[in-house]
Amino acid sequence: MSTVEMAVEKVRQLDDARAGQLLAWLESQFTAEKPPAEPLGAMAMLGFARRFHPQPRTTDDWMAELRAGERE
């Protein structure tokens, strides 16, 4: 007997209320796998700096740019 057949046999033994709960849980499992289309909150800011500086930069490069701005 396959795993699917064993699962079907277990579900057949459930009453309607429990079967409904199981179906609701299964539906939530399938919908939970999809990530949101747009990030929300602070996550929306990730990658913002890449718009202006597409190449990765070291901390020393960033600090040099900040210090240059302080001198102006």
pLDDT (tens digit per residue) in 10-34: 989 999 999 999 999 988 887 766 6
Alpha-carbon span 39 to 30, nearest angstrom: 20
Segments making up each domain of the chain, as ranges: 3-71
Encode pLDDT of 53-64 as tens digits.
Answer: 788 888 998 899
Angstrom distance (rounded) from CA 38 to CA 44: 8
